[in-house]
Amino acid sequence: MIKKVLVANRGEIAIRVMRSCRELGLITVAVFSEADRKSLHVRYADEAYCIGPPPSRESYLNIDSIIEVAKKSGADAIHPGYGFLSENPKFPERCVEAGIIFIGPSAYSIATMGDKVTARQTMTKAGVLVVPGTTYSITEEKQAVEVVNEIGLPVMIKASAGGGGKGMRLVRNNNDLIHYFRTAKSEALNAFGDDSVYIEKYIESPHHIEFQILADRHGNVIHLFERECSIQRRHQKVIEETPSPLMTPLLREEMGRVACAAAKAVNYEGAGTIEFIVNDNLEYYFLEMNTRLQVEHPITERVVGVDLVKEQIKIANGLPLTLKQENLRQDGHAIQCRIYAEDPDHDFMPQPGIIRQITVPLGLGVRYDGYVYEGYEIPMYYDPLISKLISWGKTRRESLDRMRRALYEYKITGVKTNIKFLERIMDVPAFLEGKYNTNFIENNKEVLFTPKKCGTECEDMAMIACFIDYLEKIEKVQPQKFTEDLASNWKDFGRKRSVLRL
Ligand code: ADP
């Protein structure tokens, strides 16, 4: 049985995983890059080890260092969180070689579902309907033209190794095809070291609806209902909710069954998510599978009443699922907002920097999964997610009112965030009525973004003026040593075991 867990991740998800470990009485080991020395996940863990310089490929993506720390610390299991190594099939392989339990699916499941073309082939064989398009990679421009002639515009060109919306292009016009084909390929090569792409039909008025599944080693597969993730920017989720306003009981049952069949087709073990694209006629198509814990898992936890990390650990221990499909219910409604250090008015540009002041929302029906504190410097090296705010209510309306109230309470100064932008979304009629699709942000840009009162030139001048004012101020005021003085060291002193710091 697992006794000591190394969490191969950082930020909010590392803390989230460690919380469940603590409740289970397991010892936790954090790993951190040199940029994360003062990160809360380092303080939260029972032990913490530096694994390298700030760039991810030299630290959080460095399998050798992580396995070495696991061995040195005596961790018997590794939880990958999401992102980083969580969907790299080499990672579970290396864990198995080292005699360490990987809290997640097998290398085979990850490899099959991780390559989108292989996943499409596998799902088609299993009788799961995929988005119409090719089930092979397209290398030649001539081939791309032939496929588009056959399936018709609009289409999506997508990277086989895709993720994070990279290497993806929507083609509505024949004249754009070759240009987008080339840019998708080069972006895919840059991001994934693999330029294979495939083409699928663009589904109009798309809704992104996904199903949470859990599968054990004994052949039991269940689903924990759906999450609606259609509020997206750059094809990436910003707000998620469950139940989905689009869903009907019949469709839920059917899609849940298909999701379980999809997981079974790859002998899945652990927590995973089957993503679907659904159109306005409620026709649904398999999009992809995420073979890990999702960023948006807390809304399912709240509504279904299940701790998904504890379930992952139980499954990794080889125990059978005790949850039964027929006993699961959706209780009330939950919404999650992703809080990013980014500037919605400037193409959602990341805004690393020092958090000067933070007031975290609390109160009935609010969950907060975060990792920053006053004086903390958000590093420029990683995803700018600061926290996740989750609201719950007996009804969608109550959940939404609580989210609006929580966003109002949430104050962060020092870095720009998307909090105001999210607050505006809460008041858009289409969101209030639950009648939206993935075009929501584009369709409501007039009310969501700050109107530009003058041209960009005028705005640039204003930014320069602010910057000069800022420089003058910091010349006059002694800079506060935030990170050193305001960050409490209580956890270090209280730690039972030694902390290895470079
Ligand atoms: P990634 O793995 O890069 O995140 P996905 O395949 O999961 O890419 O797609 C991300 C988002 O892009 C979807 O949630 C959806 O909004 C949009 N999308 C992807 N494929 C299609 C499609 N065929 N039709 C319409 N929208 C799509």
Q: What is the CATH number of the domain that holds 149?
A: 3.30.1490.20
Give which of 302, 333, 299, 121 is closest to 210, Cα–Cα.
299
Of 88, 103, 118, the position where a domain reaches its end is 103
Ligand 1 proximity of 208 Cβ (cutoff 6 Å): yes
Question: What sign for the dihedral angle of Cα 253, 258, 262, 267?
Answer: positive
Q: How far apart are CA 304 and CA 330, in angstroms?
A: 5
Pairing of strands 353-354, 284-290: unpaired
Q: How many Cβ atoms sit within 10 Å of the Cβ of residue 151?
A: 16
Of 179, 201, 223, the position where a domain reaches its end is 201
Q: What is the CATH number of the domain that holds 359?
A: 3.30.470.20
The answer on 391 and 301 residing in a single domain is yes
Name beta bridge partners: 370.
387
Q: Whose CA is nearest to atom 11 of ligand 1?
A: 235
The answer on 465 and 441 residing in a single domain is no
Angle between helices 107-114 and 116-125 (to 10 degrees): 100
Our mutation pick for probing the ligand 1 site, out of 205, 287, 338, counting the most ligand atoms within 8 A of Cβ, is 287
Ligand 1 proximity of 163 Cβ (cutoff 6 Å): yes
Q: How does 310-324 read in b/e, with b if 16+ C-beta sit within 10 Å? A: ebbbbbbeeeebebe
pLDDT at 453: 63
In the reported structure, the alpha carbon of residue 197 is separated from the centroid of ligand 1 by a whole-number distance in angstroms of 14
Give which of 114, 298, 123, 281 is closest to 207, Cα–Cα.
281
The answer on 388 and 256 residing in a single domain is yes
Question: DSSP code of 36?
Answer: G
Give which of 401, 325, 328 is closest to 366, Cα–Cα.
401
pLDDT at 162: 87
Ligand 1 proximity of 277 Cβ (cutoff 6 Å): yes
Query: Would residue 297 count as lying in a domain?
Result: yes
Q: What is the CATH number of the domain that holds 52?
A: 3.40.50.20
Query: Hey, what are 30's tokens?
Result: 């954090």
In the reported structure, the alpha carbon of residue 235 is separated from the centroid of ligand 1 by a whole-number distance in angstroms of 6
Our mutation pick for probing the ligand 1 site, out of 209, 211, 231, 235, counting the most ligand atoms within 8 A of Cβ, is 235
Contact 380, 484 (CB under 8 A): no
Give which of 227, 209, 208, 353 is closest to 300, Cα–Cα.
227
Query: Would residue 398 count as lying in a domain?
Result: yes
Contact 369, 324 (CB under 8 A): no
Ligand 1 proximity of 235 Cβ (cutoff 6 Å): yes
- In sequence order, which residues have a C-beta less than 8 Å from that of residue 376 and are 6 or more positions away? 38, 39, 40, 354, 355, 482, 483, 487
In the reported structure, the alpha carbon of residue 246 is separated from the centroid of ligand 1 by a whole-number distance in angstroms of 18
The answer on 409 and 348 residing in a single domain is yes
pLDDT at 128: 97
Atom of ligand 1 nearest to the CA of 166: 3
Structural domain count of the chain: 4
HEC profile of 252-302: HHHHHHHHHHHHHCCCCCEEEEEEEEECCCCCEEEEEEECCCCCCHHHHHH
Our mutation pick for probing the ligand 1 site, out of 130, 147, 168, counting the most ligand atoms within 8 A of Cβ, is 168
The answer on 17 and 48 residing in a single domain is yes
Answering whether pTM is above 0.85, one says yes
What's the distance, CA 164 to chain centroid? 9
Ligand 1 proximity of 278 Cβ (cutoff 6 Å): no
Q: Coil, helix or strand for 84?
A: coil
Mean pLDDT (10-residue bins), the chain, 502 residues: 98 98 98 96 98 97 98 98 97 98 98 96 97 94 96 96 91 96 95 93 97 98 98 96 98 98 98 98 97 98 98 98 98 98 96 96 98 96 97 98 98 98 98 98 95 61 62 53 41 41 35
Query: Would residue 332 count as lying in a domain?
Result: yes
Q: How far apart are CA 431 and CA 421, in angstroms?
A: 13
Residue 119, CA distances (Å) to 46, 134, 259, 283, 292 in order: 39, 12, 13, 20, 15
The answer on 481 and 359 residing in a single domain is no
Query: Would residue 408 count as lying in a domain?
Result: yes
The answer on 357 and 270 residing in a single domain is yes
The answer on 212 and 195 residing in a single domain is no
Of 448, 463, 489, the position where a domain reaches its end is 448
What's the distance, CA 380 to chain centroid? 18
The answer on 341 and 490 residing in a single domain is no
Query: Would residue 114 count as lying in a domain?
Result: no
The residue behind tokens 């720390």 is: 69
Q: For residue 20, what are the domain limits?
A: 4-103
397 flagged as catalytic: no
The answer on 355 and 230 residing in a single domain is yes
Prior bond to 352 cis, omega within 30? no
Please report which helix (H) or strand (E) contains residue 67, including its range: helix 63-73
Q: How many Cβ atoms sit within 10 Å of the Cβ of residue 482?
A: 18
The answer on 382 and 335 residing in a single domain is yes
Query: Would residue 419 count as lying in a domain?
Result: yes
- In sequence order, which residues have a C-beta less than 8 Å from that of residue 432 and are 6 or more positions away? 400, 426
Query: Would residue 245 count as lying in a domain?
Result: yes
Q: How does 342-355 read in b/e, with b if 16+ C-beta sit within 10 Å? A: bbbbeebebbebbb
Query: Would residue 183 count as lying in a domain?
Result: yes
pLDDT at 378: 96
Q: Which of 43, 292, 367, 396 is catalytic?
A: 292
The answer on 220 and 168 residing in a single domain is no
